[in-house]
Amino acid sequence: MSTSVVLPPAATQNTSNPLLIGSGLPPFSEIETSHVVPGIEQLLQELTQELHSVEAALQAKVESSPQTVPTWNELDALTAITERLGWSWGIINHLMGVKNSPDLRSAYESVQPNLVQFSNQISQSQIVYQALKRLRESDAWQDLTLAQQRIVEADLRDAELSGVGLSGERKATFNEIQQSLAELSTQFSNHVLDATKAFSLTLTEPEDVAGLPPSLLSLTAQAARDTGAEAATAADGPWRITLDMPSYVPFLRHAQRRDLREQIYRAFITRASSGDLDNAPLIEKILALRQQQAELLGFENYAELSLARKMAPSVAAVESLMEELRSASYDAATGELADIEAFAQAHKTLQSDPKADSKADEEPLKQWDIPFWTERMRETQFDLNDEALRPYFPLPKVLEGLFGLAERLFGIAISVADGQAPVWHPDVRYFQVANAADGKKIAYFYLDPYSRPAEKRGGAWMDECIVRAKESDGAVRLPVAYLVCNQSPPIDGKPSLMTFREVETLFHEFGHGLQHMLTRVDYAGAAGINNVEWDAVELPSQFMENWCYDRDTLFGMANHYATGEPLPEADYQKLLAARHFMTGSAILRQVRFGWLDIALHSQYRPGGSESVGEVSDRMAQKTAIMQPLPEDAFLCSFGHIFAGGYAAGYYSYFWAEVLSADAFSAFEEAGLENLDEVATMGRRFRDTVLALGGSRHPMEVFKTFRGRAPSTQALLRHRGLVSAA
Ligand SMILES: [Zn+2]
């Protein structure tokens, strides 16, 4: 069957409020913060009406003939409602991430309660729930496709987890909790943003910035210029250090001044832990409300509720993976710390310590010393400096390499489409994805690459702008993705020069984007990342990171921005060797976060015998070689689990890494240098993991690709904890 293709239309439709257009590309240039409140209010009114008429139609049908079974199309009328809501709210959410402002925040906060209430109304609709159940139990069930069946089953489960079975006071309480949790998570994340912005340290003396690489001197001089010191230069300062990642991370790694590292480190670990921005009370409230919510739904604790939607079968299964990784990495991490200590002792003169007295020689390493000495040891062992490689990874060339890889693996051609879509900032790019073989258009994506601390949330992410679906006339609506990174911006007339880690991050987000864009599922409810279990969703993203170490891929993108010369072979060898540097510590750190998250959501009881801090300490005893400082308040900025979707789900990174490492090992077994085999395997990955998305259980998708269930062996080998067979 041939289908026509619906291109995302440009924003030319005529409506007084651009947030209500309801389909197509968001008209970013026309959207004002003042549109948010009236737009969402009007939309919710209209959608409530529509929901009532869908319910009335379903109800009328049952009343006329109780045995009647609703059709897929009748139930799909609800999709139209959630999609319209998703279109408008998705834009606002996106702008909260990339163009945050006090006005936007207050608009967001004022409409959020009504939005939560409306979402509850849909998911708690008895009429819809009963209709879904009748369909599930009818003979018509067998006529649905597997994708449709999985969507209905997910809808039933979500309705149950949204409290459809509750009534009276219990339902009212449940809904109040939902409201409070939504508000608390917004507050939590705003506090982190504000606390990060509130701190800066302006340095004026050359000895204060000793050791800092040129890129950081440029970045911090620019930060000083942005805040009024117009004459600031990279060479002469002043230099403004902030707690944003592109400033904080390299500062700790390179600043020779030990006292300044300590000052910055302490500021970082105490973000949002005092005064007006204190998140500690919010954490207590959030955990208490989640526990209460879980109990209302008949679960022992929130972790069980969270796992009801995930691939991992039980809390015990998660704990057992955490323990497997902990025991595989603990001794390695212990040895690594000892190595760092010995190295620091032998190279004391590399740092300056104005606070030191004669006894300071005996003082053991502190938390703020670890990144610095780790970096020095890495330089010595591998003669490899993150900063020195930057000139070989200019963004335009990295994109060329990434797109070339996507063509080799998946047979897709990516081309520049700037100007075909409105953007929210002049640095944002727009690209088209087509089938390389026949030029058929498949998808589009935005790329917002650079850090903009004043308005953009930290980290990197992929989000859906438009989800693929087959429309009622048979036309296919093409997917569009947002890829957002926070890498170093172009400075002093040079292109954005990326660290290797920033390159990996870009590949990672692009992997999410691939699953969103290369889906072949025709129903929005299971297309792309929709309906993919959360702990399986990092499979394509982490899979893509592996390619940064692949010879052909790396040399396809690593060219010096000024001279064009390729990355020296010796540096490539060093990158490979350095891959497993400090691997035990890196794994153990993530195990600590993942296990603590599960413990807080399964063992901690508000008002019980153990406080949040005590749970955290207990987990650190087990999973940290160097214990955190008593004032370490990292939970206060742990937005993943208190303001993002990772509550009782942080372990997902490892759960998915088992899958992604094992998937990549299929390519290794085929032979990475064997381009034909790699292409064949790539098409298979595209046809299974990327194409099927949420239309099958992730275990089934994985087995279809790999021919067997996943094994942890590839992860341990890739991470350098067991040697290659
Ligand atoms: Zn990811």
| pLDDT digit string, tens, across residues 517-549 | 999 999 999 999 999 999 999 999 999 999 999
Burial (0-12, 13-18, 19+ Cβ within 10 Å), 2:
exposed
Pairing label, strands 476-477, 200-203: unpaired
Task: Say how far apart CA 334 and CA 316 lie, in whole Å.
Answer: 26
Per the model's pLDDT, the better-predicted residue between 497 and 358 turns out to be 497
Determine the pLDDT at residue 362: 60
Q: How far apart are the C-alpha atoms of 370 and 376, rounded to whole Å?
A: 10
The pLDDT assigned to 60 comes to: 92
CA of 541 to the centre of ligand 1 (A): 6
**pLDDT category of residue 286 using cuts at 50, 70 and 90:** very high
644-671 pLDDT per residue, tens:
889 999 999 999 999 999 999 999 999 9
DSSP label of 450? E
Sorted by sequence, the CB contacts under 8 Å of residue 116 that are 6+ apart come out as 178, 179, 182
> Distance, CA 312 to ligand 1 centroid (Å)?
18
Task: Output the six-digit token pair for 556.
Answer: 């396809």
Instruction: Quote the mean pLDDT of the chain.
Output: 93
pLDDT value at residue 496: 96
Neighbours of 67 (CB within 10 A): 7
Cβ proximity of 343 and 685 under 8 Å: no
The answer to whether 486 and 98 are in contact (CB under 8 A) is no
Confidence of residue 723 (pLDDT cuts 50, 70, 90): low
Is residue 341 classed as helix, strand or coil in its secondary structure? helix
Place of tokens 């208190």: 642
In 3D space, the residue among 380, 388, 383 whose CA is nearest the CA of residue 342 turns out to be 380
> Pairing between strand 5-6 and 476-477?
parallel
State mean pLDDT over 168-177: 95
- Please tell me the distance between residue 386's alpha carbon and the centre of ligand 1 in angstroms: 22
Is the pLDDT confidence value at 42 over 70? yes
Place of tokens 């020195």: 388
Q: What is the mean pLDDT of residues 412-428?
A: 97
Distance 689 CA to ligand 1 centre (A): 15
pLDDT in the model for residue 505:
96
User: Is residue 388 very low, low, confident or very high in pLDDT (cuts 50, 70, 90)?
Assistant: confident
Position 326 confidence tier, pLDDT thresholds 50, 70, 90: very high
User: How far is the centre of ligand 1, averaged over its atoms, from the C-alpha of 7 (Å)?
Assistant: 27
pLDDT of residue 196: 95
What is the band of 4 on the pLDDT scale with cuts at 50, 70, 90?
very low
Q: For the residues 448-458, what does the mean pLDDT come to?
A: 92
Task: Give 548's DSSP letter.
Answer: G
Q: How far is the CA of 461 from the centre of ligand 1 (A)?
A: 7
Which regions of 590-689 does DSSP assign to beta strands (E)? none
- Would you tell me how many other CB atoms lie within 10 Å of the CB of residue 562? 10
What pLDDT shows up at residue 12?
39
The rounded percent of the chain whose pLDDT value lies above 70 is 97
Per-residue pLDDT tens digits for 10-36: 443 445 899 999 999 999 999 999 999
For the segment 97-106, the average pLDDT, to the nearest whole number, is 96
pLDDT tens-digit profile of 677-711? 999 999 999 999 999 999 999 999 999 999 999 99
Q: What is the mean pLDDT of residues 212-225?
A: 94
**pLDDT value at position 239?**
98
Residue 277 and residue 394: Cα distance in Å, rounded? 38
* 43-82 confidence digits (pLDDT tens): 999 999 999 999 999 999 888 887 889 999 888 889 999 9
Q: Is 566 helix (H, G, I), strand (E, B) or coil?
A: strand
More confident residue, 356 or 423: 423
How far, in Å, from the CA of 537 to the mean position of ligand 1?
Answer: 8
pLDDT of 332 higher than 90: yes
Tell me what pLDDT residue 236 has.
95
Label residue 333 exposed, middle or buried (CB < 10 Å: 0-12, 13-18, 19+).
Answer: buried
CA of 536 to the centre of ligand 1 (A): 10
pLDDT given for residue 348 in this prediction:
87
> Over the stretch 491-524, which tens digit does the pLDDT of each residue have?
889 999 999 999 999 999 999 999 999 999 999 9
Question: What pLDDT is recorded for position 453?
Answer: 85
Does the structure show a pLDDT above 70 at 91? yes
Where residue 7 falls among pLDDT bands split at 50, 70, 90?
A: very low
Q: How far is the CA of 725 from the centre of ligand 1 (A)?
A: 29
pLDDT bin (cut points 50, 70, 90) of residue 3 is: very low
Q: What does the DSSP assignment read for 187-219? A: HHHHHHHHHHHH-EEEE-SGGGGTT--HHHHHH
CB 450 within 8 A of CB 491: no
d(CA 33, CA 91): 11
Distance 507 CA to ligand 1 centre (A): 10
Cβ atoms of 470 and 31 closer than 8 Å: no
Three-class DSSP category at 628: coil
Q: Given this model, what pLDDT does residue 136 score?
A: 95
Segment 588-617 shows an average pLDDT of: 95
Query: Would you please indicate which residues are annotated as catalytic (active-site) residues?
Result: 509
Could you give phi then psi for residue 632, rounded to 5 degrees? -60, 120
CA 463 to ligand 1 center in whole angstroms: 10
Average pLDDT over residues 377-396: 88
pLDDT of residue 13: 42
With H, G, I as helix, E, B as strand and everything else as coil, classify residue 486.
Answer: strand
User: Residues of the chain with pLDDT > 90: what percent?
Assistant: 86
Question: What is the model's pLDDT at position 387?
Answer: 82
Mean per-residue pLDDT, 565-588: 93
Instruction: Report the range of poorest mean pLDDT among 380-394, 619-633, 639-653.
Output: 380-394
Is pLDDT of 2 > 90?
A: no
